[in-house]
Structure 1
Amino acid sequence: MVITASLLFTATVSGQSLMRGWEVGPWAGVSYYFGDLNTNYRLNRPNAAGGFLARYNFNERLSFSVSGNYGKIAAYDSDSRNPFEQDRNLSFQSDIWDGTALFEFNFLPYFHGSRDNFFTPYLFGGLSIFNFNPKAVYDGPTQLNGVNPGELVELRPLGTEGQFKGEEYFTVTAAFTYGMGFKFDLNYEWSMNIHAGIRSTYTDYLDDVSTVYPDRTDYISTRPQSDLAVYMSSGKSLAIDGGKPLGTKGQQRGDSGNNDVYLFAGVGILYYFGDVRCPSYGSGTRRK
C-alpha cells in the first residue's frame, strides 16, 4: 500500500511539473472596432494587430498570461447602411496600445510533449489597460485653422462634443477582456495558439462620438481652432433633420448608453521553458 501511494504521488507531481513553467512568444493578426460608427458589427475593415505574450502554466488546466499588444481601429459612416449614420458622415481611426492580464482555462488536459493531450480549446478572461487617440482626416476644400485638406487631425483636443478645455475624456482607460482560443503542440518546446479576444471598454469615446452635437458658440471662447472643431464635429454631415441641418445643438450624435468595443484575433507561436520530461502515469509522452 505504501508503494502504491508513493507511485501515485510521484505520478501526480510529475504531471504537475510537466506543465508548470513559462512559455513566451509573439502573435500577429487583426483588430476590429464596434461602436457608434459601427453599430451593425461590420467586419469589412480589418486592421493589423500583434503583440508579445508570456504565459505561466499552473497545471494542465489553468494558466495565467500577460501580454503587450498593438492594433489599429477605424470606421466610416459611409460604409453603413443605416440612413442616420450615412447622413452623419463621420469617420475616425486610432492606434491602440494595450496591456492585458488573463486567466485561462483549458477544456481538455494539456501537456506539452504528450501523444494524446497535446491540444485543447480554452477560455480566458481578465483586464486590459489601453491607450487610444482618435483622429480623422480633414477633407474640407481649403486650409482651416492652419490644417490643410487631407491632413490627419487629433479629435480629442478639439472638443467635438463641446467638452471644455481640461474636461476632455481620458485616453488611458480599462477594458474587461474575454474570449476563446485553441492551442496545440508543434513539438515539446513549441506550440501554436489561435485566439480571439473581445475588449469591452469603459469608454464611449474610442471613436470620439458619444452624446449630442454641442452649441457651436461654445467653441469660440474655449478652442483656438474653433472653426476646425465645428467642421470635424458636424461639418461633413450630408442631411437636414427635422428642418434643421444635422449638427444643430442637442441633436443626437452618438449613443452614450453603450460603450465601445474592440477585438484582437490572431495566431501566436510560443516557446515552452519547462524542462521536466517525465510523463505522468499513462500520459503517453512523445519524443520531439
Structure 2
Amino acid sequence: MRKNRISLLFSFLCLFSLNAIQAQQAWEAGAWLGVSHYFGELNPSYNLTRPGFSGGVTARYLFNNRLSFKSSLNYAFISGTDEDSSNPFELARNLHFRSNIFDLSNQFEFNFLPYVHGTREYFSPYLFAGLSIFHYNPQAQLGKKWYNLREYGTEGQILGEEYLSYGIGLLYGAGIKWDINYRLSINLEVGARLVPTDYLDDISTVYPNRGEVQSLRGDIGVALSNPSTVPGFGSQGTQRGNSTDNDSYMTTGISIMYYFGQLKCPPIMRY
C-alpha cells in the first residue's frame, strides 16, 4: 500500500509538469573545481588577493527547461592575515587564521533561456539561491604548529560555551551552462555564502581579560588571543573585531556535468 501511494505521488508530480515547455525531468551529476575567498575582519575591503582551493561533487535534477534543483558536497579553504593590511590598527593587531570549510548545499536554479540537452537550446545564464549546512575550524600558527582557535577561547569564552563550529547559511549567485555534446556540459558558477556567524576567522568582539584567559587556556591561549608586538596593545575591553557584521565567503568554480537522460514517469498503479 505504501509503495502504491509513493508511486501514485511520483506519477502525479510527473504528470503535473508535462505541460512545461520542453520538459526534461532528468538527472545530471558531476564535479567542480575552483577558488574561494573570505571576507571579514581580516579582509574588510573584500580583496581577492588570497584565493584558496575549493571543489566538490554535485547532482542536479531538471524539472523542465527553466527550473532545476542542485545538491552538492563542497570543500573550501579560506585564510586571512593582518599583514595584508595598510591600516595601522590592523597591522598592530597582528592576527591571522586559516580554515577548512565543508558544506552540503541545496539550491534552486532558474535559467534565463530555455535549456535542453541535445537541441539548439544548449546555452543559458542562470541564477540560483538556497541553503547550506557548513562546518568550519579556524586555526592560527604559533611557531611551526597550527592550533584550533575555538579550543582556546581567544575572546574570553568560558569552557563549554565556545561558539558553534557549524551552522546553516544562505547561498546565492549566478552561472552559465552550456553543452559540449549531448551527454556532457560545462558550468561556470560564482556563489556567495552568507553565514550566521562572525567567527569564521575567530575574531568578533573585544579583547578579554588576560588573566582569565591565562587561567582557563594557559600561555597558548594568551598568545593566540593577542599576538601583537606593540606594547600595551589589546587591553581588556578594547576593540578586537566588529560584531555588527558577520563573516562570509564566496566560491568561483567550473564543473563538468554528465547528463543521464530523461527520467520516465512510472505508470499510475490501479487498485
User: Is TM > 0.5 for Structure 1 vs Structure 2?
Assistant: yes
Aligned-partner residue type, residue 46 of structure 2: Y
Q: 1:175 aligns with which of 163, 169, 174?
A: 169
Instruction: Say yes or no: does 1:20 pair with 2:25.
Output: yes
SS of the residue corresponding to residue 110 of structure 1 reads coil
Instruction: Quote the Cα distance in structure 1 between the aligned partners of 2:170 and 2:116.
Output: 29
Aligned-partner residue type, residue 59 of structure 2: A
Superposed structure 1 runs of 4+ greater than 4 Å apart: 12-18
Count residues with an aligned counterpart. 247
Aligned to 2:223: 231
Instruction: Quote the Cα distance in structure 1 between the aligned partners of 2:55 and 2:65.
Output: 26
Following superposition, the deviation at residue 184 of structure 1 comes to 0.3
Q: 1:118 aligns with which of 110, 118, 122?
A: 122
Aligned-partner residue type, residue 267 of structure 1: I
Following superposition, the deviation at residue 230 of structure 1 comes to 0.8
Instruction: Say yes or no: does 1:132 pair with 2:136.
Output: yes
Structure 1: gaps spanning 5 or more residues: 1-11, 139-148, 277-288
CA deviation string 1:1-49 (max 9, x = no partner): xxxxxxxxxxx95975652111000000011100011001111111111
Following superposition, the deviation at residue 210 of structure 1 comes to 0.2
Following superposition, the deviation at residue 220 of structure 1 comes to 3.5
Show the 5 A alignment for 1:19-58. Answer: 19-58=24-63
CA deviation string 1:171-206 (max 9, x = no partner): 011110000000001111111000011000001000
- With normalisation by structure 2, the TM-score equals 0.88
Show the 5 A alignment for 1:52-67. Answer: 52-67=57-72
Instruction: Quote the Cα distance in structure 1 between the aligned partners of 2:19 and 2:153.
Output: 60
**Residues 23, 63 of structure 2: 8 Å contact kept:** no
**Residues 18, 112 of structure 1: 8 Å contact kept:** no
CA RMSD of aligned residues (A): 1.6
Instruction: Quote the Cα distance in structure 2 between the aligned partners of 1:26 and 1:135.
Output: 28
Instruction: Quote the Cα distance in structure 2 between the aligned partners of 1:99 and 1:275.
Output: 26
Instruction: Quote the Cα distance in structure 2 between the aligned partners of 1:172 and 1:13.
Output: 40
**Residues 18, 274 of structure 1: 8 Å contact kept:** no
SS of the residue corresponding to residue 66 of structure 1 reads strand
Aligned-partner residue type, residue 219 of structure 1: V
Instruction: Quote the Cα distance in structure 1 between the aligned partners of 2:133 and 2:90.
Output: 29
Structure number with greater Rg is 1
Percent identical residues: 50
CA deviation string 1:142-192 (max 9, x = no partner): xxxxxxx21111111100000000000000111100000000011111110
Instruction: Quote the Cα distance in structure 2 between the aligned partners of 1:160 and 1:118.
Output: 52
- With normalisation by structure 1, the TM-score equals 0.83
Aligned to 1:214: 208
SS of the residue corresponding to residue 19 of structure 1 reads coil
Aligned-partner residue type, residue 120 of structure 1: S
SS of the residue corresponding to residue 161 of structure 1 reads coil
Following superposition, the deviation at residue 238 of structure 1 comes to 3.7
**Residues 24, 262 of structure 2: 8 Å contact kept:** no
Instruction: Quote the Cα distance in structure 2 between the aligned partners of 1:17 and 1:70.
Output: 34
Following superposition, the deviation at residue 85 of structure 1 comes to 1.1
